[in-house]
Amino acid sequence: MIESWIAIGDSFTEGVGDEGPDGVCIGWADRLATQLAAVNPSFSYANLALRGKMMKEILDDQVPIAVAERPDLITLCAGGNDIIVPGVDIDEIAAMFDAAVAALRATGAQVLVFTAPDVKFQPVVRMVRTKAAIYNAHIHASADRHGAKVVDLWSMSTLRDRRAWSDDRLHFAPDGHRRIALRTAEVLGLPVTEDWREPLPEQPPLRWLDMRRMDVSWARAHLIPWIGRQLRGQSLGDGLAPKRPRLTPYRIPKEPQLQSLKDVTTC
Protein backbone atom coordinates (compact mmCIF):
# COMPACT_ATOMS: atom_id res chain seq x y z
CA MET A 1 0.00 0.00 0.00
CA ILE A 2 1.31 3.44 -0.93
CA GLU A 3 1.55 5.63 2.18
CA SER A 4 3.13 8.73 0.62
CA TRP A 5 3.66 10.20 -2.84
CA ILE A 6 5.48 13.24 -4.19
CA ALA A 7 4.71 14.32 -7.75
CA ILE A 8 7.30 16.50 -9.47
CA GLY A 9 7.39 18.07 -12.91
CA ASP A 10 5.75 20.78 -14.97
CA SER A 11 2.24 21.76 -16.15
CA PHE A 12 1.36 18.17 -17.07
CA THR A 13 1.59 17.07 -13.43
CA GLU A 14 0.24 20.36 -12.07
CA GLY A 15 -2.90 19.54 -14.05
CA VAL A 16 -3.15 22.46 -16.46
CA GLY A 17 -6.12 21.97 -18.80
CA ASP A 18 -8.17 20.27 -16.09
CA GLU A 19 -9.33 23.10 -13.86
CA GLY A 20 -11.92 22.68 -11.12
CA PRO A 21 -14.85 24.99 -10.36
CA ASP A 22 -12.56 27.20 -8.27
CA GLY A 23 -10.03 27.53 -11.11
CA VAL A 24 -7.41 25.39 -9.36
CA CYS A 25 -5.86 22.66 -11.49
CA ILE A 26 -6.94 19.08 -10.76
CA GLY A 27 -5.17 16.91 -13.32
CA TRP A 28 -4.24 13.24 -13.46
CA ALA A 29 -2.15 13.45 -10.27
CA ASP A 30 -4.94 14.75 -8.02
CA ARG A 31 -7.32 12.26 -9.59
CA LEU A 32 -4.93 9.43 -8.77
CA ALA A 33 -4.36 10.83 -5.27
CA THR A 34 -8.12 10.67 -4.76
CA GLN A 35 -8.06 6.97 -5.59
CA LEU A 36 -5.11 6.31 -3.27
CA ALA A 37 -6.79 8.19 -0.42
CA ALA A 38 -10.00 6.21 -0.93
CA VAL A 39 -8.04 3.02 -0.32
CA ASN A 40 -5.76 4.37 2.45
CA PRO A 41 -7.08 7.12 4.78
CA SER A 42 -3.54 7.82 6.07
CA PHE A 43 -2.20 8.53 2.57
CA SER A 44 -0.03 11.70 2.22
CA TYR A 45 0.61 13.60 -1.00
CA ALA A 46 2.64 16.54 -2.30
CA ASN A 47 2.58 18.03 -5.78
CA LEU A 48 5.58 20.25 -6.51
CA ALA A 49 4.93 20.50 -10.24
CA LEU A 50 4.58 23.93 -11.80
CA ARG A 51 3.77 25.09 -15.32
CA GLY A 52 6.63 26.29 -17.46
CA LYS A 53 9.36 24.54 -15.49
CA MET A 54 12.39 23.38 -17.47
CA MET A 55 14.36 20.20 -16.82
CA LYS A 56 17.20 21.95 -14.99
CA GLU A 57 14.78 23.80 -12.70
CA ILE A 58 13.04 20.54 -11.81
CA LEU A 59 16.39 18.84 -11.19
CA ASP A 60 17.68 21.70 -9.02
CA ASP A 61 14.53 22.71 -7.16
CA GLN A 62 12.10 19.80 -6.95
CA VAL A 63 14.24 16.66 -6.96
CA PRO A 64 16.14 17.60 -3.74
CA ILE A 65 12.84 18.04 -1.87
CA ALA A 66 11.60 14.62 -2.99
CA VAL A 67 14.95 13.07 -2.05
CA ALA A 68 14.86 14.64 1.42
CA GLU A 69 11.26 13.57 2.11
CA ARG A 70 11.82 9.96 0.98
CA PRO A 71 8.19 9.05 0.13
CA ASP A 72 7.07 5.60 -0.99
CA LEU A 73 6.33 6.83 -4.51
CA ILE A 74 7.80 9.61 -6.66
CA THR A 75 6.50 10.47 -10.12
CA LEU A 76 8.55 12.46 -12.60
CA CYS A 77 7.52 14.00 -15.90
CA ALA A 78 9.99 16.61 -17.15
CA GLY A 79 11.64 17.87 -20.30
CA GLY A 80 8.53 18.70 -22.32
CA ASN A 81 9.14 22.43 -22.09
CA ASP A 82 12.74 21.90 -23.18
CA ILE A 83 12.17 19.79 -26.27
CA ILE A 84 9.81 22.32 -27.88
CA VAL A 85 12.54 24.98 -27.85
CA PRO A 86 14.29 25.21 -31.26
CA GLY A 87 17.90 24.04 -31.25
CA VAL A 88 17.78 22.28 -27.90
CA ASP A 89 20.26 19.44 -27.30
CA ILE A 90 18.03 16.43 -26.57
CA ASP A 91 20.97 14.39 -25.25
CA GLU A 92 21.77 17.12 -22.72
CA ILE A 93 18.19 17.23 -21.46
CA ALA A 94 18.14 13.43 -21.30
CA ALA A 95 21.34 13.42 -19.21
CA MET A 96 19.68 15.69 -16.65
CA PHE A 97 16.58 13.48 -16.67
CA ASP A 98 18.74 10.43 -16.05
CA ALA A 99 20.48 12.18 -13.13
CA ALA A 100 17.07 12.97 -11.64
CA VAL A 101 15.87 9.36 -11.93
CA ALA A 102 19.11 8.07 -10.40
CA ALA A 103 18.81 10.43 -7.42
CA LEU A 104 15.16 9.57 -6.84
CA ARG A 105 15.71 5.81 -7.08
CA ALA A 106 18.64 6.06 -4.66
CA THR A 107 16.13 6.93 -1.91
CA GLY A 108 14.56 3.48 -2.27
CA ALA A 109 11.29 4.97 -3.49
CA GLN A 110 9.27 3.51 -6.31
CA VAL A 111 9.74 5.89 -9.24
CA LEU A 112 7.32 6.36 -12.10
CA VAL A 113 8.27 8.32 -15.23
CA PHE A 114 6.22 9.39 -18.24
CA THR A 115 6.99 9.49 -21.94
CA ALA A 116 5.83 12.28 -24.21
CA PRO A 117 2.57 11.58 -26.09
CA ASP A 118 2.37 11.19 -29.84
CA VAL A 119 1.39 14.55 -31.37
CA LYS A 120 1.32 13.45 -35.01
CA PHE A 121 -2.30 14.55 -35.38
CA GLN A 122 -1.67 18.05 -33.98
CA PRO A 123 -1.01 20.70 -36.63
CA VAL A 124 2.21 22.72 -36.08
CA VAL A 125 2.89 21.00 -32.74
CA ARG A 126 3.72 17.81 -34.64
CA MET A 127 6.96 19.45 -35.79
CA VAL A 128 8.53 18.34 -32.48
CA ARG A 129 7.40 14.72 -32.94
CA THR A 130 10.82 13.43 -33.97
CA LYS A 131 12.51 15.13 -31.01
CA ALA A 132 9.84 13.72 -28.68
CA ALA A 133 10.43 10.21 -30.02
CA ILE A 134 14.20 10.50 -29.44
CA TYR A 135 13.60 11.84 -25.94
CA ASN A 136 11.21 8.97 -25.23
CA ALA A 137 13.94 6.49 -26.13
CA HIS A 138 16.16 8.15 -23.53
CA ILE A 139 13.34 7.97 -20.94
CA HIS A 140 12.88 4.24 -21.50
CA ALA A 141 16.65 3.74 -21.24
CA SER A 142 16.85 5.67 -17.95
CA ALA A 143 13.93 3.73 -16.50
CA ASP A 144 15.53 0.44 -17.48
CA ARG A 145 18.93 1.54 -16.13
CA HIS A 146 17.63 2.57 -12.71
CA GLY A 147 14.65 0.29 -12.20
CA ALA A 148 11.87 2.86 -12.66
CA LYS A 149 8.43 2.16 -14.13
CA VAL A 150 7.19 3.88 -17.28
CA VAL A 151 3.75 5.27 -18.10
CA ASP A 152 3.93 5.22 -21.89
CA LEU A 153 1.71 8.07 -23.08
CA TRP A 154 2.97 7.62 -26.65
CA SER A 155 1.19 4.26 -26.90
CA MET A 156 -2.15 5.56 -25.58
CA SER A 157 -4.24 5.66 -28.74
CA THR A 158 -7.08 7.50 -26.99
CA LEU A 159 -4.78 10.50 -26.56
CA ARG A 160 -4.53 10.80 -30.36
CA ASP A 161 -7.88 12.56 -30.40
CA ARG A 162 -8.35 16.33 -30.22
CA ARG A 163 -11.01 15.88 -27.54
CA ALA A 164 -8.35 14.58 -25.14
CA TRP A 165 -6.52 17.92 -25.40
CA SER A 166 -7.23 21.47 -24.32
CA ASP A 167 -7.51 24.31 -26.82
CA ASP A 168 -3.81 25.20 -26.53
CA ARG A 169 -2.81 21.80 -28.04
CA LEU A 170 -0.11 21.41 -25.38
CA HIS A 171 -2.10 20.38 -22.31
CA PHE A 172 -4.67 17.66 -21.77
CA ALA A 173 -8.38 18.27 -21.29
CA PRO A 174 -10.18 16.74 -18.28
CA ASP A 175 -10.90 13.48 -20.11
CA GLY A 176 -7.26 13.19 -21.12
CA HIS A 177 -6.17 13.63 -17.51
CA ARG A 178 -8.80 11.10 -16.39
CA ARG A 179 -7.49 8.49 -18.79
CA ILE A 180 -3.88 9.14 -17.79
CA ALA A 181 -4.83 8.68 -14.13
CA LEU A 182 -6.37 5.32 -15.02
CA ARG A 183 -3.30 4.29 -17.02
CA THR A 184 -1.00 5.31 -14.16
CA ALA A 185 -3.07 3.32 -11.68
CA GLU A 186 -2.79 0.33 -13.99
CA VAL A 187 1.02 0.61 -14.11
CA LEU A 188 1.06 0.77 -10.31
CA GLY A 189 -1.11 -2.33 -10.11
CA LEU A 190 -4.04 -0.51 -8.50
CA PRO A 191 -7.65 -1.61 -9.05
CA VAL A 192 -9.79 0.56 -11.35
CA THR A 193 -13.38 0.36 -12.51
CA GLU A 194 -12.92 1.98 -15.94
CA ASP A 195 -10.72 1.29 -18.94
CA TRP A 196 -8.62 4.14 -20.35
CA ARG A 197 -8.77 2.36 -23.72
CA GLU A 198 -12.52 2.94 -24.09
CA PRO A 199 -12.95 4.71 -27.45
CA LEU A 200 -14.43 8.16 -27.62
CA PRO A 201 -17.81 8.47 -29.40
CA GLU A 202 -17.63 8.74 -33.17
CA GLN A 203 -17.84 12.24 -34.59
CA PRO A 204 -17.95 13.55 -38.17
CA PRO A 205 -14.59 14.68 -39.57
CA LEU A 206 -13.82 18.37 -39.61
CA ARG A 207 -13.87 20.20 -42.92
CA TRP A 208 -10.54 21.48 -44.24
CA LEU A 209 -11.67 25.11 -43.97
CA ASP A 210 -12.83 24.64 -40.37
CA MET A 211 -9.46 23.13 -39.44
CA ARG A 212 -7.60 26.07 -40.99
CA ARG A 213 -9.78 28.52 -39.08
CA MET A 214 -9.01 26.62 -35.89
CA ASP A 215 -5.29 26.81 -36.69
CA VAL A 216 -5.45 30.59 -37.13
CA SER A 217 -7.41 30.99 -33.90
CA TRP A 218 -4.93 28.77 -32.04
CA ALA A 219 -1.95 30.70 -33.38
CA ARG A 220 -3.40 34.02 -32.21
CA ALA A 221 -4.46 32.76 -28.80
CA HIS A 222 -1.52 30.49 -27.94
CA LEU A 223 1.39 30.33 -30.41
CA ILE A 224 2.10 34.06 -30.72
CA PRO A 225 1.95 34.64 -26.92
CA TRP A 226 4.28 31.64 -26.42
CA ILE A 227 6.80 33.08 -28.88
CA GLY A 228 6.59 36.41 -27.07
CA ARG A 229 7.29 34.79 -23.70
CA GLN A 230 10.26 32.93 -25.18
CA LEU A 231 11.73 36.16 -26.54
CA ARG A 232 11.26 37.90 -23.19
CA GLY A 233 12.59 34.95 -21.18
CA GLN A 234 9.30 34.59 -19.34
CA SER A 235 7.37 31.53 -18.20
CA LEU A 236 3.72 30.78 -17.47
CA GLY A 237 4.84 29.75 -13.98
CA ASP A 238 6.49 33.06 -13.10
CA GLY A 239 5.16 34.28 -9.75
CA LEU A 240 3.24 31.06 -9.05
CA ALA A 241 3.84 28.45 -6.35
CA PRO A 242 3.13 24.69 -6.29
CA LYS A 243 -0.39 23.81 -5.18
CA ARG A 244 0.75 21.18 -2.64
CA PRO A 245 4.35 22.10 -1.67
CA ARG A 246 4.53 19.84 1.39
CA LEU A 247 3.87 16.17 2.04
CA THR A 248 0.63 16.29 4.02
CA PRO A 249 -2.39 13.99 4.53
CA TYR A 250 -4.65 14.06 1.49
CA ARG A 251 -8.37 14.43 1.99
CA ILE A 252 -10.74 13.62 -0.85
CA PRO A 253 -12.12 16.95 -2.12
CA LYS A 254 -15.82 17.70 -2.08
CA GLU A 255 -15.79 19.29 -5.55
CA PRO A 256 -18.27 17.49 -7.81
CA GLN A 257 -15.66 16.95 -10.53
CA LEU A 258 -13.61 14.74 -8.25
CA GLN A 259 -16.39 13.21 -6.20
CA SER A 260 -18.08 11.86 -9.34
CA LEU A 261 -15.00 10.06 -10.65
CA LYS A 262 -15.98 6.55 -11.67
CA ASP A 263 -12.38 5.36 -11.36
CA VAL A 264 -12.26 5.90 -7.59
CA THR A 265 -12.55 2.54 -5.88
CA THR A 266 -12.96 1.70 -2.21
CA CYS A 267 -12.01 -1.96 -2.47
pLDDT at residue 255, as a whole number: 58
Let me know if residue 264 belongs to a domain: no
Domain count, the chain: 1
Higher-pLDDT residue of 217, 197: 197
Let me know if residue 208 belongs to a domain: no
Q: Closest Cα to residue 248, out of 6, 2, 1, 31? A: 6
pLDDT in tens, 3-33: 999 999 999 999 999 998 888 899 999 999 9
Q: Other C-beta atoms within 10 Å of 58: how many?
A: 26
Element (H, E) at 5: strand 4-9
Let me know if residue 220 belongs to a domain: no
Let me know if residue 211 belongs to a domain: no
**73 touches 5 (CB < 8 A):** yes
Let me know if residue 229 belongs to a domain: no
Let me know if residue 114 belongs to a domain: yes
| Residue range of the domain that includes 249 | 4-198+242-259
Which residues share a beta bridge with 46?
6
- Tell me what percent of the residues of the chain surpass a pLDDT of 70: 94
Element (H, E) at 113: strand 110-114
Let me know if residue 124 belongs to a domain: yes
Task: Provide the 8-state DSSP code for 208.
Answer: H
Let me know if residue 99 belongs to a domain: yes
Which is it for the CA torsion 202, 207, 213, 218, positive or negative? positive
Give the predicted TM-score (pTM) of the model. Answer: 0.89
CATH number, residue 48: 3.40.50.1110
Higher-pLDDT residue of 191, 143: 143
Higher-pLDDT residue of 234, 62: 62
